[in-house]
Every structure is written in C-alpha cells, then in structure tokens.
Amino acid sequence: MNQQAIRVLELKQGYLFQKRSQRRLRVTVGPSMAVATHGRYEYSAINTRPTYEWPNGSKLAVYIALNIEQFPFGEGLQHTLAHEAPHPDVANYGWRDYGNRVGVWRLLDLFDELQLPVSVLLNSTVYEHCPGLAEAFIKRGDEIVGHGRTNGEKQGVLSEDEERALIEEATMAHPKRPQGWLGPWLSQSFVTPDLLQDAGYTYVLDWCLDDQPVWMKTRNGGILAIPYASEINDIPAIVVRREAHINFADMIVDNFDEQLEQSRKGAPLVMAISLHPFIVGQPFRLRHLRRALQHICASRDKIWFTTAGAIAEHAAGLPKGTLPGDA
C-alpha cells in the first residue's frame, strides 16, 4: 500500500496521525469519529448538582450489600480462590459452599450485634438449596434484592426472550417481589434496564457510575441506578487483587472517613459495602470486618445506615430535577 492509500485509509477511519518520534505516535480523534454510547444517562459533574439530605438530615447514606449465592456443582461459572481445576473442582466448590453453611451465620450474628440493616442480594435457588437461610434475613426485616437464579450463569449473553424469562423466574421465586436487582457477575445485556423496568423493578445496582442515585432512561420510562461498590467489594479486593484482609478492612474505614468528610461539604453521597460470606465469613477476615463496621457505627449519629431499597425510595421521591437524569 502506497503513502496516498494509507492517508486515505486514515481519513476514512476518522483519525489524524501525527508522528511524534520514530518510536511513538500520537492519535487524535477527528471530526468524523463517533464514540458509541448507551443513551441511558448524560454526563453530570457531581459538584454542579442540587443538594439534598437523607431522611434523618445526614448527607452520607451507608448500606451493606450481602451477596448470598448458589453455584451449581460440576458446571457453570465459578469464583476461585485456590488453584482452579476442571469441574467438579471440589476445593473451590467447598470454599463457596462454606459461605452459606458457616460464614453467613457468623455475619448474621455480627449484624445483630451491631444492629445493622442489610440488603441481601439473593440468588433465587438459595431458597431451595439452603432452607432457612434467606428466611433468617427476612425475619429480621432485611431487604431482599433480586440477584438472578444462580451465579453459575450470566444473563448478559442471553437473547431478549431468554433474559426476560430468567428475570421472571428469579423474581417469582421470592415470597415478596424485590424492588432492586443486581445481575449475577454484574452482567447486563443492551436491554437489561428495559426488561427490569418492565418487570416492575425500580432500581439496579449493576452500574457503578456515581456516588449518588442517577435516573437511567428505559424504553418505557426510567429506572434508578443506586451506587454499588466495585472497589469496596471483597471479590475484586481479595480474590482478584489478593489484598490482605487487614487491608480490605482499612479500605472500608478510609473510604468511609473520606466520604463522610466530602459529604459535609455539601454533596449527599452513598457508600456501599459489598460482601460475600465465603470470603469475609472466614474467621480471620470477620474479625477485621467487625473492626471496620464498629468504626462506622461510632459515627452513626452523623450518617444514615440503611438499605439500597430505602435509598432508592427516598431518591425517587425527591423533587423533579434534583437527581441526574431527572431534568
């Protein structure tokens, strides 16, 4: 290909290539370059938005997102801590099953001890495979959030009809229809918000885009995106990045202290703490999680310790134009 042909190809692609050195090129996006977007929400700088308060007059809402999940044996997707092996991979299966048999009950004791509400992100198959587990949280008045059927699958790879059927099956398994949803593996298709809004859901947790609730457009209205923790989350912190349990507890403390300070300057914020019983339900990790939650509870009069659903309900009732996407 000659130089003229190369130049034509570059222009067609919408790029202007400028040679900076023999080893490095700088690429500038030209006027014909169109970046794909989702059309769900527009850009909004947090320091330009209207201010508001949470129900108790505070500016920082904190909630625990407890993921209680069921994994199929010998098939499907799986989280791994030990060396991954071919199915049935009993080492990693047993590690995850420990969370529902032991770890979650230790966490339940901790939440009772500190009198903390919880948003339980629940695979619907837990009702069948772990009788009494979901019921223990329902009994204490905790919120149940839809979390698919099992974490052995992702909904984002399904056809629209298949995904609609998955949402309906998972939803109908709950004694009370959930208001919120987090997809297994945070997986969404291009139409997931539309399908969830059509199914009666009022908020989603998958879009970790902000520290405040944001209205997202759907084809039949709108749905709230409530902040969820992609960083203050034991899966990416401990399983992926291999952070020590002490470091994860320190991350919770530092994030809380910083957001509390930021919220005092005017912007109402949400802090989510995402936990999995097969990780933080291990005794040595539980001890340091207790330390972090006790630190937060020491400032309980300055915050709103609540659930994701209560945050969504309050946000939905704010005057029009208060939240991003609600102009």
- Please report the DSSP string for 194-248 in residue order: HHHHHTT--EES-----SS-EEEEETTEEEEE----SSSBHIIIIIIS---HHHH
Residue 322 included in any domain: no
- Nearest CA among 313, 324, 322, 319 for reference residue 61: 313
Residue 157's CATH number: 3.20.20.370
CA angle centred on 96, ends 94 and 101, rounded to 5°: 80
Q: Are residues 230 and 203 in the same domain?
A: yes
Residue 167 included in any domain: yes
Q: Are residues 12 and 113 in the same domain?
A: no
**In this structure, are residues 79 and 243 in contact, taking their beta carbons and an 8 Å threshold?**
no
Burial per residue of 20-30, b for 16 or more beta-carbon CB atoms within 10 angstroms, e otherwise: eeeeeeeeeee
Residue 326 included in any domain: no
Q: Are residues 226 and 284 in the same domain?
A: yes
> What is the distance, to the nearest Å, from the Cα of residue 299 to the centroid of all Cα atoms in its chain?
24
Count other Cβ atoms within 10 Å, centred on residue 236: 14
pLDDT at 32: 63
Q: Are residues 241 and 275 in the same domain?
A: yes
What's the structural domain count of the chain? 2
List residues bridging with 120 in a β-sheet. Answer: 66, 144
- Nearest CA among 230, 273, 322 for reference residue 61: 273
Q: Are residues 5 and 83 in the same domain?
A: no
Q: Are residues 10 and 95 in the same domain?
A: no
Q: Are residues 178 and 200 in the same domain?
A: yes
Residue 165 included in any domain: yes
Q: Are residues 29 and 110 in the same domain?
A: no
pLDDT at 82: 64
- Nearest CA among 62, 138, 127, 134 for reference residue 307: 62
Beta strands in the chain (DSSP E): 15-19, 25-29, 60-68, 119-122, 143-146, 180-181, 203-204, 214-218, 221-225, 269-275, 304-306
Q: Are residues 108 and 228 in the same domain?
A: yes
Domain that holds residue 144: 46-316
pLDDT at 31: 63
Per-residue pLDDT 10s for the chain (327 aa) are 433 333 323 323 332 222 333 333 344 455 667 888 888 999 999 999 999 999 999 999 999 999 999 987 766 777 776 667 788 888 888 888 999 999 999 999 999 999 999 999 999 999 999 999 999 999 999 999 999 999 889 899 999 999 999 999 999 999 999 999 999 988 999 999 999 999 999 999 999 999 999 999 999 999 999 999 999 999 999 988 888 999 999 999 999 999 999 999 989 999 999 999 999 999 999 999 999 999 999 999 999 999 999 999 999 999 999 999 986
Q: Alpha-carbon distance 80 to 102, whole Å? A: 18
Q: Are residues 288 and 307 in the same domain?
A: yes
**In this structure, are residues 235 and 184 in contact, taking their beta carbons and an 8 Å threshold?**
no
Phi, psi of 310 (to 5 degrees): -65, -35
Q: Are residues 225 and 288 in the same domain?
A: yes
Residue 40 included in any domain: no
> Which structure tokens are listed for 273?
């703490």
Residue 28 included in any domain: yes
Q: Alpha-carbon distance 254 to 166, whole Å? A: 38
pLDDT at 125: 95
